[in-house]
Amino acid sequence: MEPGASHTDKGGRMKKIAVYGPGCMKCKKAEDNVRQVLAETGVEATLDHVTEMQAIVAAGVMSTPAVAIDGVIKLSGRVPTTAELRQWIAGKA
């Protein structure tokens, strides 16, 4: 799925996922993990990688990488595991 592409999840509600970070290896790994889980689960979503520091701070992120799903910061300061991402994307956490 291309960044900025919009699709809906199986429940018909569009998921919006954002990875926050300047583009370091950990930030890229976080984005790769999100893409992997989306591919494995079949959930399609809008995925953006926010690299501008002003936008990162405005989102309330104090350390990167960070991942937000539907506007809620789920994790910051480390790369999320695929297991964590599966739960968040499924709406179970």
From the list 81, 55, 59, the residue with the least C-alpha distance to 89 is 81
What is the pTM for the complete model shown?
Answer: 0.83
CATH number for 30? 3.40.30.10
Q: How would you class 29 by CB atoms within 10 Å of its CB: exposed for 0-12, middle for 13-18, buried for 19 or more?
A: middle
In a domain, 20, yes or no: yes
Tokens of 81: 């595991």
Alpha helices per DSSP H over 1-93 = 25-41, 53-58, 82-90
Note the pLDDT tens digit of each residue in 5-46.
444 445 557 799 999 999 999 999 999 999 999 999 999 899
| Structural domain for 25, as ranges | 15-90
Positions marked active-site: 24, 27
Number of domains in the chain: 1
